[in-house]
Amino acid sequence: MSVDTGGKVILREHFHQAAWNEPLIVELGRAGRRGVVPPDAGEELRSQVGDVLGGTPVGLRRRQPPVLPELSQPEVVRHYTRLSQMVLANNVAVNLGLGTTTMKYNPLINEVLSRSPKLTELHPAQDESTVQGILELLYRFGEMLSEISGMDRFTFQPAGGSQGILANALMMRAHHAANGQASQRDEVITTIFSHPANAAAPATIGFKVITLYPGREGYPELDALKRAVSERTAGLMITNPEDTGIFNPQIAEFVRVVHDAGGLCAYDQANANGILGVTRARDAGFDMCQFNLHKTFSVPHGCMGGAVGATGVQKDLTAFLPSPTVEFDGSRYYLDSRRPASVGAIRSGLGNVQSVLKAYAWVRSLGAEGLREAAHMAVLNNNYLAAKVTAIRGASLSFADENPTRRLEQARYSWERLAAETGVHTMDVHNRMIDFGVQGYFTSHHPWLVPEPFTLEPAESYTQEELDEFAAVLERVADEAYSDPETVKTAPHRSTAAAPVPRAQEHPAMTWRAFQELRRQGLV
């Protein structure tokens, strides 16, 4: 328990996570068991309907029924409830260590709103006249994000940050194609501390990717960018602040250099939680940007299911936005799909509109001043935590020697000294932390430029006591590393984190069937 004890943090020494030894669902149940047995349709109905499979082409019909789990309803309920108890979810554990992911509170009231039949009973293919409400919401939220970013139009179709970045890369290419320069401008510039999607997404559509490495102060030098730009430059795709929490103070100069070379600039705002209402993408000259509603705007993270990469552009680029766009003619809202310059649909429908609804509700509940206050609180929380973490033996803040400026909403630290002095590595610390009932931390995207990294992002919704508890857990584990390293290296002891299947890394299996095949071949 962590209660007010006059500043002293009492760790959860007796925490123990539920361990159910639960098999996979495909290993449960028994042949023939059913959770739901539909009633027989009856002779009359069968004769009326006829052969229901008759219209299905032979080639599309299964030859054998799928090998599905066969369980009763209570077995299914117990199985998934047990699994849910074996994770340190956002609503159970203090979860401020997953830097770059902005794990803030997801207001429960917004779950209620999004489960209203007014939304759940809608269908993407409904006539526009019957979905005016949700179209209005999408249109108005686009206006809000335009105000927040300085852009002119937004789309909510991309179902995640990487799709939003892909949309930006596609629009970049479409812009150069419109100027007859698509084949000439085939290089995208990014930085190693930007989110990896800024390199991956343009690469998937054929761009060559040039990555800038950080200078001594933790962000790339302007001269490195000047070395990278040329008449081949399609654009810059960059995160700022980068994953180190360091805001590139020369960002406007970066944009100018790329513009001078004829390129466009896309701002990945995945790390926007510390700059909402403080600085705007367009004011630094950016041409396009993307926000992750599932990070900055309080929407739960959803494994590409519930995520939204809200993508915005300045007015010269609106023609290239994915289709359809939501338009307003002064009296009614409608979808515009006749947009010949558009890069096309990034995904079906209008995107994860239930997530847009949650983000809209969050923004409306805070208002403009509230957003700015959230950003300030996130930065304050981060710097309060940084002061505590850097005081821990063996820990250090990356680039602090050359760049002592405050970090924004997150910071990347290093256990390099701890590892050298104790042999305890960053993943060992991570595995031990969860024994104290807090969620583990994120290390770093790859490659690890900062050795033995960990990245913390205490968003605005954590209390001072929670920050204190998290720091105290880190301090405790670091102390253990010096006094009793084996306890740390063999952790977790009170948690249920699963050990990976041996050799699974060499032979990853993405499905149960693929796993069985590998097992048959003796590869795992």
Partner 1 sequence: MKLGLIVNPIAGMGGSVGLKGTDGRKVIRQARTLGAVPRAPARATATLEELVRVGAEFELLTCAGAMGEASALACHLTPTVVYRPASIETTAEDTRRAAREMRKLAVDLILFAGGDGTARDVHEAVGGDVPALGIPAGVKIHSAVFAVSPRAAGDLLAGFLRGRIGTMREAEVMDVDEAAYRRGQLATRLFGYLRVPYDPQLVQGAKVRSRSDDTAAEELARSVVARMDRETLYVVGPGTTTRRIMTLMGLESTLLGVDVILDGQVLALDVAERDLLRLVRDHPRARIIVTPIGGQGFLFGRGNQQISGRVVRAVGIQNVVVVATPGKLASLGGRPFLVDTDDEELNRTLAGFIAVTTGDRQEAIYAVGHGSGNAG
Nearer to partner 1 by C-beta: 282 or 489? 489
The yes or no reply on residue 509 touching partner 1 (CB under 8 A) is no
Diameter over CA atoms, the chain: 82
**Alpha carbons 497 and 476: distance in angstroms, whole number:** 20
Q: Is 449 in the site for partner 1 (CB under 8 A)?
A: yes
Q: What torsion do the CA atoms of 246, 252, 253, 259 make, to the nearest 10 degrees?
A: 130
In terms of CB distance, is 181 or 211 closer to partner 1?
A: 211
- 393 contacts partner 1 (rule: CB under 8 A): no
Contact call for residues 161 and 292 (beta carbons, < 8 A): yes
Which span sits near partner 1 by CB under 8 A: 160-168, 362-370, 404-412, 484-492? 484-492
DSSP conformational letter for 70: B
Q: Residues 335, 341, 400, 427: which binds partner 1 (CB under 8 A)? A: 427
Q: How far is the CB of 17 from partner 1 (least distance, A)?
A: 20
Contact between 455 and partner 1 (CB under 8 A)? no
Q: Cβ distance 101 to 455 under 8 Å?
A: no
Length of the chain: 524
Indicate the burial class of 198 (C-beta count within 10 angstroms; 0-12, 13-18, 19 or more). Answer: buried
Task: Report which of 216, 268, 198, 212 is spatially closest to residue 240, judged by C-alpha positions.
Answer: 268
Using CB under 8 A as the binding rule, whether residue 444 contacts partner 1 is answered as: yes
For 220, counting Cβ atoms within 10 Å of its Cβ (0-12 exposed, 13-18 middle, 19+ buried), the class is: buried
Beta strands in 76-218 (DSSP E): 153-155, 187-191, 208-212
**Interatomic CA distance for residues 153 and 155, integer angstroms:** 7
510 lies in the site for partner 1, by CB under 8 A: no
**Binding range to partner 1, per CB under 8 A, among 132-140, 145-153, 256-264, 483-491:** 483-491
Residue 313 sits in the site that holds partner 1 (CB under 8 A): no
In the complex, the smallest distance separating the C-beta of residue 268 from partner 1, rounded to whole angstroms, is 18
Residue 488 contacts partner 1 per CB under 8 A: no
Structure tokens at 147: 């105000």
Rounded least distance, CB 422 to partner 1, Å: 8
Q: Between 258 and 276, whose beta carbon lies closer to partner 1?
A: 258
Q: Which of 61, 63, 338, 446 binds partner 1 (CB under 8 A)?
A: 446
- Based on its alpha-carbon atoms, the radius of gyration of the chain, rounded to whole angstroms, reads 26
258 binds partner 1 (CB under 8 A): no
- Candidate list 142, 214, 245, 306; residue touching partner 1; CB under 8 A: 214
Q: 268 to 297, contacts with partner 1 by CB under 8 A? A: none
How far, in Å, CA of 238 to CA of 303, rounded?
23
Q: Among 56, 213, 464, 484, which residue sits at the site for partner 1 (rule: CB under 8 A)?
A: 213
Q: Binder to partner 1 among 151, 172, 197, 210 (CB under 8 A)?
A: 210
What distances in angstroms separate CA 433 from CA 17, 101, 283, 454, 457, one per listed residue? 13, 19, 41, 12, 16
425 is a site residue for partner 1 (CB under 8 A): yes
Between 387 and 420, CB nearer to partner 1: 420
508 is a site residue for partner 1 (CB under 8 A): yes
Q: Is position 227 an interface residue for partner 1 (rule: CB under 8 A)?
A: yes
Q: How far is the CB of 476 from partner 1 (least distance, A)?
A: 21
Q: Is 215 among the residues that bind partner 1 (CB under 8 A)?
A: yes
Q: Does 506 bind partner 1 (CB under 8 A)?
A: yes
For residue 231, the minimal CB distance to partner 1 (Å) is 15
Percentage helix, strand, coil for the chain under 3-state DSSP, each rounded to 5? 40, 10, 50
In whole angstroms, give the CA distance from residue 97 to residue 466: 12
192 near partner 1, rule: CB under 8 A: yes
Nearer to partner 1, 211 or 279 (CB): 211
- SS3 of 144, please? helix
Q: Which residues of 330-354 are buried (b: 16+ CB within 10 A; e: fewer)?
A: eeebbeeeebeebbeebeeebbbbb
Residue 196 binding partner 1, by CB under 8 A: no
Q: Does 182 bind partner 1 (CB under 8 A)?
A: no
Phi, psi of 323 (to 5 degrees): -105, 155
E strand or H helix at 326: strand 325-328
Q: Which is nearer to partner 1, 35 or 485 (CB)?
A: 485
Binding segment for partner 1 among 1-9, 102-110, 370-378, 440-448 (CB under 8 A)? 440-448
Position among 147, 223, 231, 327 found at the interface with partner 1 (CB under 8 A): 223
Write the DSSP string, 413-464: EE-HHHHHHH---HHHHHHHHGGGTS---B--SSS-SSSSEEEE---TT--H
Q: Write phi, then psi, for 70 (nearest 5 degrees).
A: -125, 100
Q: Distance between alpha carbon 303 and the CA centroid of its chain, in Å?
A: 8
Closest approach, Cβ 423 to partner 1, in A, equals 4
Residue with Cβ nearer partner 1 (253 or 373): 253
Among 9, 83, 203, 335, binds partner 1 (CB under 8 A): 203
What does the binding site for partner 1 look like in residue numbers (CB under 8 A)? 192, 199, 203, 207-216, 220-221, 223-225, 227-228, 420-421, 423, 425-427, 443-444, 446-449, 451, 485-486, 489, 500, 505-506, 508
